[in-house]
Structure 1
């Protein structure tokens, strides 16, 4: 696999992708496998509030897939809750290309899609084991909030105000 580099940031393409596309399936299965390996209790998607395919298709939501060449190396999704609120779901980056800003790029692109839809509040939850994700969300302007769902794997709930004057 080629690596991303600061002098060639366009090597990675990030595009909206149907959740049933093979590249989407690859990234989401690798995301679930990593959570199962990292969480102390494992990860069972059937117990989690993961977004199902229908929630990742417009107008209900969308899925972004990042590709390095022809290889899928990351993903991130939006699930629109209502006219003002959306949730960030399934942000994952292949370990082989981590540390090069792809997770932040995915998050920024998800925020742009949310703004384009008129979303005012973007929220997400994450597990304490995912320390790098917690740090990314905090450094990206997300504030820790009271739980907004009963996600069994979550320890942190975050929200970000997307209004222009925020």
Structure 2
């Protein structure tokens, strides 16, 4: 049989579909919420001097000043590739900023000794002095902003900013379905096993779900990404017709207390409903008190043991309602 020839999708159609997708996302958020967010951004960027080409009076814009800070965060230097992923910057724009700082004598750019494809950036002695002064001026600017508030108001503002940062981090995290054998899936499960080993004293790879159990028609596996880094995972496998089991819902310590575990749980439940599974079960250990609290809060009820597992002390289940297929 001859292969079916498919016509390439016109660029105009692709762009139109992207616009429609953006419109759908925009409709999910109320207009007043969008307006409030943008209003705050405009006010805050003006107050901290982000619009000034001489940020903090040091003769460079905010972008270059921030790059100095990011480079200093790694004692032995950092690659431009890593900085690009962390800051979400265009490669050309980042390269121009790095070269500008190099011309000012603030950084040194070199080739990685083991990979000539990577360009490394590190602070020079002059760069360290400049960054120290930059931090001093930033502290003074911040203190000046806060002096108009009393102690209680400063505490309220600090707590509100912590909440805003937590929610913005959560909003930026993406959750993607991957094959159970994908490198990121296995890396997350290895980290999960190491985490439980630290708690229980031992947790071997044989206790992990097999890739074939959480892939294709038999199940699903999701990985959460923050700035290109895998920071969480969760698996779903079919136990019997209509019954599924959640496996290895895990969040990296750096990404905990954001609400990410609940997002992973929601994705797994949707995937289960998509497969016609109307009952979900799971087991967990007595020491994982936060996990048990989350499952209860999300509608799972404790049941007698349905499986004999060496690390299981509690067993839960939840009945699902039909759901639209995942997109």
Tell me, yes or no, whether TM beats 0.5.
yes
Q: Do residues 43 (structure 1) and 233 (structure 2) align?
A: no
Distance 1:75 1:163 in 2: 23
Q: Do residues 95 (structure 1) and 253 (structure 2) align?
A: yes
Bigger drift between 52-61 and 8-17 goes to: 8-17
TM-score by length of 1: 0.90
Q: How does 1:1-166 map to 2 (within 5 A)?
A: 5-7=166-168, 9-39=170-200, 41-46=201-206, 48=207, 50-163=208-321
Deviation string, structure 1 residues 8-62 (Cα, Å, up to 9, x no partner): 54311101111222211211100000000011x422242x3x3211101111111
Greater RCO (CA < 8 Å, at least 6 residues apart)? 1
Unaligned runs of 5+ in 1: none
Question: Secondary structure, in 3 states, of the residue corresponding to 2:217?
Answer: coil
Deviation at 1:130, TM superposition (A): 1.0
Distance 1:8 1:98 in 2: 11
Distance 1:5 1:141 in 2: 24
TM-score by length of 2: 0.47
The answer (yes or no) to whether the contact 2:170–2:259 under 8 Å persists in 1 is no
Distance 1:69 1:88 in 2: 26
Structure showing greater radius of gyration is 2
Deviation string, structure 1 residues 53-105 (Cα, Å, up to 9, x no partner): 11011111111000001100000000012231000001000000100000010
Question: Secondary structure, in 3 states, of the residue corresponding to 1:150?
Answer: coil
Distance 1:96 1:7 in 2: 15
Aligned CA RMSD, in angstroms, stands at 1.7
Distance 1:89 1:96 in 2: 21
Deviation string, structure 1 residues 127-152 (Cα, Å, up to 9, x no partner): 11111111111111101001011011
Runs (4+) of structure 1 exceeding 4 A deviation are none
Q: Specify which structure has the higher proportion of strand.
A: 1
Distance 1:7 1:92 in 2: 20
Q: Specify which structure has the higher proportion of helix.
A: 2
Distance 1:122 1:140 in 2: 12
Unaligned runs of 5+ in 2: 1-85, 88-164, 323-327
Distance 1:121 1:155 in 2: 20
